[in-house]
Structure 1
Amino acid sequence: MTTEATPSPRLSPAWLAHAPHRLMFFVGAGNVLLAMLWWALWLAATRWGAWTMPELAVPAGWLHAFLMQYLVLPSFIFGFLLTVFPRWMGLPDLLRWHYLPVGVGLMGGQLAILLGAAGWQAGLTVGLWMALAGWTSALFTLGRLLADEKGKTWHARSCYAGLVLGWLGLVLFIAFVLGAAPGWAFASIKLGGFGLLLPVYVTVAHRMFPFFAGNTVPGYRPWRPLPWLGAVWGLLLLHLGLELVHGYAWLWLADVPLLALTGWAVWRWWPRGRMPGLLAVLFIGTLWLPVTFALYLLQSTVYLASGEFILGRAPMHALFIGFFGSLLVAMVTRVTQGHSGRPLMMPKVAWFAFVLLQIVAVVRIIADIAPDTMAWQAVAAIGWLLALAPWVVRIGRIYLAPRADGRPG
């Protein structure tokens, strides 16, 4: 007696509209590879001269920072928040017309900007306005949920505050492209890291990581004090303000307490019992946060004592690749597994992405203190692509197919 194999589900773009995370995570998956592919090509062309890249209307490094901060990572952030905001507040799930414009704006915006980088003169301007439209639509939708809520979900308000600062940073970059002083672009890039991404990431970690651990590890006691979150917010704004006025010698005023608070949080959040891999990667990724502030602290104190600016952008890339990148893989894998009707476990391809990203983060940190910096940067960019490409293919196929358990969503 023979049994027929179960046919693979037919893939269709129509499934992307069935849930916010499907659409926005698919957009983010495309963005995360396209943006880094362009950056790797630019770095390789600049370092080794094997080919020529088109001239850009803005410095390439600034465009790279803008894409990662305002289009790549926010695609995933919006996918998560458009899903969980109604659940945090006890409100109905959002309808398609609430989130489709967000996905179109962010995906179309990045594609147009990258076409601009490839030579289409109007691409940068078109892409920026599309991105602003997508961002504005998302803030309007999430803001309406906050207005409709009867109580006060402080984690939602914390995330929304970060998004408002992100919207401001996007506007500043558009102003720079339209002719404003370069300082506007500098402010945009700083707002993207310490005004938008880090507050949102920390807020989500503060709410969700103890919750996940409490549901998995016997005897675990969740630790989520709101005063801790408020203190971190204030210190991040202090760090941001000092960066905006180039007060690098005094960043330690914010970074000493941030190192203490983030290290304390990792200690309190970390389960003492055995935990599955899908939970462990959350806390391993979070370890990069105190590492980041230790590097910033070292850089600031040396600059105060000697006027020498050591480490370059190493602390920032410990944050972006180590913390943001690790938790991107960890959280998106978790949401994808759970919301597609699959077991809550780390697939091999996710482990490959996560482990290789730890190496990429170290390589990128070394790049700022090693000879031939640009070669090391190119290696790190290629490593990012190698780490995430198989993972992106897997999750992309999941979003284009029905749930494995046959449920809607």
Structure 2
Amino acid sequence: MVKMFPEGSRSSFLDLVCSGLSLQAAAGAVGASGMTGTNWWRQSGGMDFRAPRSGGGLADPFVDGGQDGDRALTLDERGMIQFGLRTGHSFGQMAKEIGRNKTVIWREVKRNTSADGVYYASVAHTRAHQNRRRPKGFKLGANDALCYLIGVWMDDGWSPKLISKMLAYYFADDQTMQVSHETIYHALYVQTRGNLRANLNQNLSLKRKQRVNPATRRASSSPYKEAFTISDRPAEVEDRAVPGHWEGDLIIGTDGYSAIGTLVERTTRYTILLHLPDGHSADEVATAMIREMKLLPSHLLQTVTWDRGTELAEYRRIQTALDLSLYFCNPHSPWQRGTNENTNRLLRFWFEKGSDLSGHTAQDLRRVASILNNRPRPTLGLETPKHHLTQLLTAA
């Protein structure tokens, strides 16, 4: 028969453990057995103890030192989050009561909800305190059981990534027996890090003597390693005083295959749409760009700024055909093409997110571009991009 405990027993038990009591003492205080307390802790806490077998408390219990103006959440604030979740408050309501942005509340709940699916303020506060600790303890430094299991699986030819996934599967309720594949690699290639056997890296399929940095491997295979970056772009591009500097991107359809290319001139906001009926490979995008931009006068072909998508891997061909310079944004930095991002947002009126873009013909794209280029823009003093471009062409 399963013993039923009063509501709040587990939460009280976790509060006591996080304050420094041993599992045995905290379980006895709420009327539970040591085994029940151990199971509760594995499901909800999972942090290390000084000496678990001798009944010691947490290795590094929290000290509530949060003060006004401190970026870190205090224990009181986490207690308010716990209460708000129990009573059905939204993240926005809790944020208003605590005086924090609701994104902070959402991240806190996502990061520190325990394995049993419940948020406990004391556990979250202790975990956050230990995660801020410097220098950090190494997870494979004192866990002999975890090191032994990793060694057994590696002897059977398992990769660190597979081992990490299977640890998470078999020990879903015990965070002390979970580790990332990067931590395993680090222990294999950096001696004195952890208790793994010194020669265990020979069980890896590639048998490298040194680890290849994943970031270095990605950079070496990038088609843009010799291309100009946005930091190389001329200063005149920033102030928009000189026309002929363009920003480009793709709008991708819901199928991941259909796409429309967008090019926007920074000074006039004049927009060109690229018809890509057969996909958006590097060859198809380059062909479309050259076809459309060759219709422009040479003084309006100065530079193009694009992101690092593989669709522009044939940038050298584009530069040669159009006699212009191509610059690439930093990774994950769409704001560096702000004009293009804003234009794409306007274009979603005709090309909705989640829609199939393959049904739009070249004539459809010319019609939409014409509508957009004849639309008054506040940034141009309510002039239209077409009128602004015509003025520049007339002056030239």
For normalisation by structure 1, the TM-score amounts to 0.20
Determine which structure has greater relative contact order: mean sequence separation of CA pairs < 8 Å that are 6+ residues apart, divided by chain length: 1
Q: Of Structure 1 and Structure 2, which has the larger fraction of its residues in strand?
A: 2
Which is greater in Rg? 2
Q: Of Structure 1 and Structure 2, which has the larger fraction of its residues in helix?
A: 1
For normalisation by structure 2, the TM-score amounts to 0.20
